Chain A
Amino acid sequence: AQKVTQAQTEISVVEKEDVTLDCVYETRDTTYYLFWYKQPPSGELVFLIRRNSFDEQNEISGRYSWNFQKSTSSFNFTITASQVVDSAVYFCALSEGANSKLTFGKGITLSVRP
């Protein structure tokens, strides 16, 4: 069965600090997809990134970067030079094979203080 663990529940940083959000997943499938979503205080869920199991290249998008390591079943998310607008709950999610069903982690609440 698929499972996503986000061990950190709450993180608080001061603006301009770097912060890494951890995500560990479990799956028996060799083909799977990993996602990160952001849920700001307004409540909507915003898609950030998708990565498939065959692509271990790290990705950078502006201040955001993602580190995918199959050896440790991790898909960690780093925000560089954090800003107050980054304050949100961040969810990691997993889907297996051709099954579109997403399994979410419990989410990490990130607070960025000015």
Chain B
Amino acid sequence: DAGVIQSPRHEVTEMGQEVTLRCKPISGHNSLFWYRQTMMRGLELLIYFNNNVPIDDSGMPEDRFSAKMPNASFSTLKIQPSEPRDSAVYFCASSFPGINSNQPQHFGDGTRLSIL
């Protein structure tokens, strides 16, 4: 079975450019999560969706970041304009629906983003 698929795997771009990260969750999973991993802050949740609806975006750093989930099989995380401090590994994860039983999140391989 295909896992969570993220693209691109690596992205290097100059500051000020728009960056779009993509994620395809596991089929049948109805929750999707975007995380950022840095040495300084560790793994932090940016935003998550249930049934394509954003539930909690309190982790989104600022207005330069936006995320969408137009359908159950695709999500994007966009940074515009990008800054060097956005350099990090961005993970997408998805999980099964679960009633009062938080299901484990399954992670993609991540996108390593470098902003020069």
B residues within 8 A CB of A43?
89, 109-110, 112
One digit per residue, 1 when the CB lies within 8 angstroms of any chain A CB and 0 when it does not, for chain B 18-49 equals 00000000000001010000000011110010
CA distance A103 to B31 in the complex (A): 16
**Contact B45 A91, beta carbon cutoff 8 Å:** no
CA distance A31 to B104 in the complex (A): 15
**Contact A47 B42, beta carbon cutoff 8 Å:** no
CA distance A98 to B50 in the complex (A): 12
In this assembly, does A113 line the interface, its C-beta being within 8 Å of a C-beta of chain B? no
CA distance A50 to B33 in the complex (A): 17
Interface stretch among B60-68, B69-77, B78-86, B95-103?
B95-103
Total number of residue pairs linking A and B with CB closer than 8 Å:
54
CA distance A37 to B43 in the complex (A): 12
Contact count band on B: 20 to 34
B residues within 8 A CB of A95?
102
**Which residue in B42, B91, B102 is a CB contact (below 8 Å) of A45?**
B91
**Contact A91 B43, beta carbon cutoff 8 Å:** yes
A residues within 8 A CB of B100?
31, 98
Closest to B55 in A: A100
B residues within 8 A CB of A91?
43
B residues within 8 A CB of A52?
101
A residues within 8 A CB of B104?
35, 47, 50
Point out which of B31, B95, B105, B109 has the most chain A C-beta atoms below 10 A from its C-beta.
B105
**Contact A102 B56, beta carbon cutoff 8 Å:** no
CA distance A31 to B48 in the complex (A): 20
A residues within 8 A CB of B55?
100
Identify the 3 closest CB pairs spanning chains A and B, nearest first. Answer: A45-B107, A104-B43, A33-B102
Residues of chain A touching chain B, judged by Cβ–Cβ distance below 8 Å, are 31, 33, 35, 37, 43-47, 50, 52, 91, 95, 98-107
Q: A33-B102, A100-B31, A100-B33 are in contact. List 16 more A-B contacts (CB 8 A).
A: A31-B100, A37-B107, A43-B109, A43-B110, A44-B109, A44-B110, A45-B107, A50-B104, A99-B56, A100-B48, A100-B55, A100-B102, A100-B105, A101-B48, A104-B42, A104-B44
